Chain A
Amino acid sequence: MIFVTIGTQAPFDRFIKIIDEIAPSINDEIVAQVYKCSFVPKNIKVVDFLPPDEFNKLFDSAKLIISHAGMGTILSALQKNKPIIIFPRISALGEHRNEHQLATAQKLKELGYVYVAMDEEELKNYITQKDLVPLHIIGSKASHSLIESIEDFVG
Chain B
Amino acid sequence: MGKRKILAVASIGGHWVQLLRISKSLEEKYDVVYLSTHPKCSKMVEGNKYYLIQDFSRWDAWKLIPSLFRNFYIILKERPDAIITTGAAPGLVCLFAGKLLFRKTIWIDSIANVQHLSASGRMASKFATRVYTQWKDLSDKKILFAGNVLGEL
Binding site for B on A (CB under 8 A): 7-9, 51-53, 69-73, 75-76, 78, 97, 100-101, 103-104, 106-107, 138-151, 153-155
Number of interface residues of B (CB under 8 A): 47
Question: Given contacts A71-B14, A71-B17, are A154 and B4 in contact (CB under 8 A)?
Answer: yes
Residue numbers in A under 8 Å from B99 (CB-CB): none
- Residue of A with least CB distance to B119: A98
CB-contact partner of A154 in B6, B114, B118, B147, under 8 A: B6
Interface flags, B31-62, vs A, CB<8A=1, else 0:
00000001011011000000000000101000
- Per-residue interface assignment for chain B, residues 1 to 36, with 1 indicating a CB less than 8 Å from any chain A CB and 0 otherwise: 000101000001111111001101110011000000
Query: Interface on B for A, CB 8 Å cutoff?
Result: 4, 6, 12-18, 21-22, 24-26, 29-30, 38, 40-41, 43-44, 57, 59, 81-82, 84, 104, 106, 110-115, 118, 129-130, 132, 144, 146-153
Is the pair B43, A143 in contact by a Cβ cutoff of 8 Å? no
The total of Cβ contacts below 8 Å across the A-B interface reads 125
Interface contact A8-B22, CB-CB below 8 Å:
no
- Shortest distance from the beta carbon of A99 to any chain B beta carbon, whole Å: 9
CA distance A73 to B12 in the complex (A): 12
Chain B's closest residue to A79 (CB) is: B21
A154 and B21 contact, CB distance less than 8 A: no
Find A100's partner among B4, B81, B106, B112 (CB 8 Å cutoff): B112
Q: How far does the alpha carbon of A141 sit from the alpha carbon of B25 in the complex, in Å?
A: 7
Q: Chain B residues with Cβ under 8 A from A148's Cβ?
A: 146
B21 touches A140 (CB 8 A): yes
Name the residue of chain B whose CB is nearest to the CB of A149: B146
Do A143 and B153 touch (CB < 8 A)? yes
Q: Decide: B40 and A146 in contact? CB cutoff 8 A.
A: no
Contact of A146 among B15, B81, B147 (CB under 8 A): B147
* Known interface pairs A75-B14, A146-B22, A153-B130; A104-B150 also in contact (CB < 8 Å): no
